[in-house]
Structure formats: C-alpha cells, structure tokens
Amino acid sequence: MNVEAYLNGIFPRSDFALESGSSWLKGRVTKDDYYKILEKETIELIELQHNLGLDYVTDGQLFWDDFLRQIAIALELHRENSNANENPVTRQIYTNTFYRKPIILNKIGNGKEIIDTEFINKTQEGKRKIILPSPFALAYLSDGIHRNEDGTIKNDIFAEVLLNIAKILNNEIHRLEKESKISFVQFNEPCIAYADEAKSFWSIINESLRIATKDVKAITSLHLYNGDVSKFLPELLELPVNRIGFDAYATNIRKFADSKKFLEIGIINSKNSLIEKPEAIVKYARQIQDTINPEGLALVPNRPLELVPQQIAIKKIENLAKAAHLLRD
C-alpha cells in the first residue's frame, strides 16, 4: 500500500513574526519589513518539507491572515466602499481563531487570480501542492445574497452561488496547472460535518466539486474536519475527488472498511501541543491498514496546524515524516 505524508493548511507563524505583525498594525515597522519576515519563514518551511521527504509541499499560507481572506481580497467579496479587511470578524467553527467573513453581493466574475505563484515556483516540480477552501465552505461561511436577514439560507440562490464559486476555483486551478505545473489540489472543508444543511445540499455539493475539478490533471482531495464524517458514507466516497481526508480523532474510522479510496488520515492532532511519537503514529496507521484496507494512505494533521506554536508544529511534522518513512520501510 502506498503511504504518503504532507501538510494540509495554514502553518503557524513564529512568535517573532506574530510580534512583527502586531508592530506593523501599530505603525512601528513597515509592511515591507514584516513581509520580508514572512517570506523568510515561508522559504524555510518549504525547505523543511523537502528535507523531511514529504510527498507534497505547500507554502504554508503564511501570508494568509485567515483561510478565506486571500480569496475575499482577490475576488472583492466585501461591501461597497469597503474592503475585505473590514469584513465582520467571525469565530471559526469550534476553535479560538477568527476570520473575516466574505460578503457575496453579486455573481463573482472570472479571470481574477487568487494565489500568488512566487512560492509555488520555489517548490520542486512534481511536489507542488495548493490548498483552497471547498466551494461549499466558501459559500457557507459567507454572508450576502444567498442568506436571509436572519442568516438562514436561500436555497436556490445558495445553489447558484455554490456553482459560481466552483467555476471560479476551477479556472484558478487550470491557471496554476498551466503556469506553475501544480501536482496536487486540496479543498479544505470545515463545514460539511458541522452544517445541518449539508445532507439536504448533498447533490449540489457533489456538482460543485465536479465543476471545480473538471479537466484537472492534478491529484485532488477533499479534507473534512470539525466532526465525524462517517455519517455521510457511502456517498462521501463517491464525491468527484481522488482522495478523502478526515479527522481520525472525531471520525468512526471502522465505517470506512474496504472503501477502495485513497484516504488522508488526520492522525496529528492540531488542537493541542502534545507531540505524537513516530512509533505511536506507525502503530495506529498499521491498525488502519489492517482494519479498513484503503487504496492508499496519507498521514496528515487532522486540521491545519495554525492553532499550535510554530516550534510545536515543526516537531509534529518531523515525527509525521519519520512515521511515514518507518511505514514504507
């Protein structure tokens, strides 16, 4: 069985970078000086992933202030006479982190670049991975024309917004395949396991992913977190992506037995600072191999590592890489 390991979301900034960011907001350092620190840490993270032998490499999204902000800025998802950095601050699901809520007031236009290719192109070809929110996550976590005044969803308009977003993401992926030869596209999905509406929207979620991945040559995955996703089986495994990822701590893994799908097992706990030992990771991964026998297995964090200090996150992925090497041997 093929065993891989890689990151799956925003990586934490160092304490020095966090302090510099605070100083920039207070006018004590320039934006250029702050961005030079983030650039240095991004390059160091890329080198670390290569040195650890991770199968796919990301830029860590250190320039992303939250997992939707970059997209909200690029697509101008904000109210008239404002900008995305002025959108309402909203608590992320089940966490102590926050994001600026995108606001969708009209159909989103095509042709706008979302992801900067500078750091993608510093990564070894064949290992280049990008991470985007799923179409459902971006629509569900946004305000705008698809919601009533009380926040409830307008079903028909929500479906239109969802498919519009999927088309935008598909265009961006094709641009990145052409310009930067990306090999892997991951859609992060923190909402499906949490949202009561997910089951009623299942067919449109499926269609949105079909549109987002249409004619994409890169490997595609949907990484779900914030709950037990086994309740969506077997339909979950029929979604039009190559790989399905989930939180091993929250999900009933036994329900995935003989799934014949490449699975990303969220085996590193991103919600606490306990550093998992390689031997423990290996033992658990072998139990998964014996119990559910997936087509392939990727060892990943259960959600982005942004919630823990950077040095803890580094130790966690070092042990993740060691465990993957032990399993291969």
Q: How far lies 185's CA from each of 58, 201, 217, 257, 298, in Å?
A: 10, 23, 10, 25, 14
pLDDT of 93 over the 90 cut? no
User: Phi/psi at 184 (nearest 5 deg)?
Assistant: -150, 135
How large is the average pLDDT for residues 43-71? 96
Q: Supply the mean pLDDT for the chain.
A: 94
Q: How far apart are CA 329 and CA 323, in angstroms?
A: 10
Q: What's the pLDDT band for 180 if we cut at 50, 70, 90?
A: very high
Tokens of 145: 């024309």
How large is the average pLDDT for residues 306-324? 97
pLDDT of residue 329: 81
What are the helix (H) ranges across 68-154?
A: 69-74, 135-140
pLDDT of 110 over the 90 cut? no
pLDDT of 313 over the 70 cut? yes
pLDDT of residue 79: 92
- Tell me the per-residue pLDDT of 221-234, one tens digit each, with 9 for 90 and over: 999 999 999 999 99
User: Phi/psi at 303 (nearest 5 deg)?
Assistant: -160, 170
Residue with tokens 């250190």, as numbered in its chain: 62
How large is the average pLDDT for residues 69-88? 93
- Tell me the per-residue pLDDT of 122-170, one tens digit each, with 9 for 90 and over: 999 999 999 999 999 999 999 999 999 999 999 999 999 999 999 999 9
- Please give the domain boundaries of the chain with CATH numbers for all domains: 2-328 (3.20.20.210)
- Give helix 155-180 / helix 202-212 axis angle, nearest 10°: 20
- Tell me the per-residue pLDDT of 255-302, one tens digit each, with 9 for 90 and over: 999 888 999 999 999 999 999 999 999 999 999 989 898 999 999 999
pLDDT of residue 111: 64
SS3 at position 82: coil
pLDDT of residue 87: 94
User: Phi/psi at 168 (nearest 5 deg)?
Assistant: -60, -45
Strand partners, 17: none
Residue of higher predicted confidence among 94 and 137: 137
pLDDT of 94 over the 90 cut? no
Q: How far lies 285's CA from each of 41, 292, 320, in Å?
A: 31, 11, 11
Q: What is the bridge-based pairing of β-strands 2-5 and 129-133? A: unpaired
Tokens of 223: 């990484």
Q: What's the pLDDT band for 96 if we cut at 50, 70, 90?
A: confident
pLDDT of 47 over the 70 cut? yes
- Tell me the per-residue pLDDT of 21-40, one tens digit each, with 9 for 90 and over: 999 999 999 999 999 999 99
Q: How far apart are CA 259 and CA 265, in angstroms?
A: 13
